[in-house]
Copies of this chain bind each other. A is one copy, B any other.
Amino acid sequence: MDFDQADAVNQAIRLLSLRHRARIAELLAPHGLHPGQEALLLELARTGPMIQAQLSEALGVERPSVTLMARKLEAAGHIRRSSAPGDQRATVVELTDGGRALTDQVKQLWCVLAQETVAGLSAGTVAELPGLLRTLARNVDTRHPHRRRDDAAPGPRPEDPPA
């Protein structure tokens, strides 16, 4: 692939990341939330009480990130944390009543955001979009590297220019 094409792809992904996150921030700000926190709340609403390690896995972020976010959401009263029965290492996280109410609000914003995002696209494109994006994400996933058949042997590239 030539550079211009690669740049178009990479830059578009970068820009989308930036803008989408910025819009999330804007929508979340009135509720006192920051981008990333909504994902944690939504995951708890979806799956119910869970261990921080599971949250880390589900959210696709590292464990220290979960620790800090969870601490702040707990301080804000949105979630509750307690040590897991039967495993003193683990910490169970769950929504409080207030957190559940807040999450209901967030769900609304989530719909607003998605609708804004796909404005002007055909229904077919919208339907295919999540699958397409997930494919892209999976292709560059470094947490759960899955075998892509061709493309690259695990070793270094055939030629390395720094000479």
Which residues of A come within 8 Å of B, CB atoms?
Answer: 1-3, 5-24, 26, 39, 42, 60-61, 104-105, 107-108, 110-121, 125-126, 129-130, 132-143, 148, 150-152, 157, 161-162
CA distance A10 to B108 in the complex (A): 12
Contact B111 A3 (CB under 8 A): yes
Residue contact A20 to B26, C-beta cutoff 8 Å: no
Are B114's CB and A5's CB within 8 A?
yes
Besides A3-B111, A116-B139, A119-B139, 13 other CB < 8 A contacts?
A7-B42, A7-B114, A11-B130, A12-B129, A13-B16, A16-B17, A16-B133, A16-B136, A18-B60, A19-B142, A115-B151, A116-B151, A119-B148
| CB <8 Å contact, A117 and B105 | no
Q: What's the nearest-Cβ distance from chain B to residue A60, in Å?
A: 5
Residues of B close to A15: CB separation below 8 A: 60, 133-134, 137
Which residues of chain B have C-beta atoms less than 8 A from A121's C-beta? 132, 135
**Chain B, Cβ-Cβ closest to A15:** B137
Q: Is the CB of A1 within 8 A of B139?
A: no
CB distance from A100 to the nearest CB of B (A): 14
| Complex: chain B residue closest to A22, CB-CB | B142
The residue that A130 contacts in the complex, of B9, B23, B110, with Cβ under 8 A, is B9
27 A-B pairs (CB sep. < 8 Å) = A1-B115, A2-B111, A6-B110, A6-B114, A9-B114, A9-B126, A9-B129, A9-B133, A10-B20, A10-B24, A12-B130, A13-B17, A14-B20, A15-B134, A16-B133, A16-B137, A18-B60, A19-B138, A19-B142, A20-B136, A22-B142, A22-B143, A105-B161, A119-B139, A119-B151, A121-B135, A125-B132
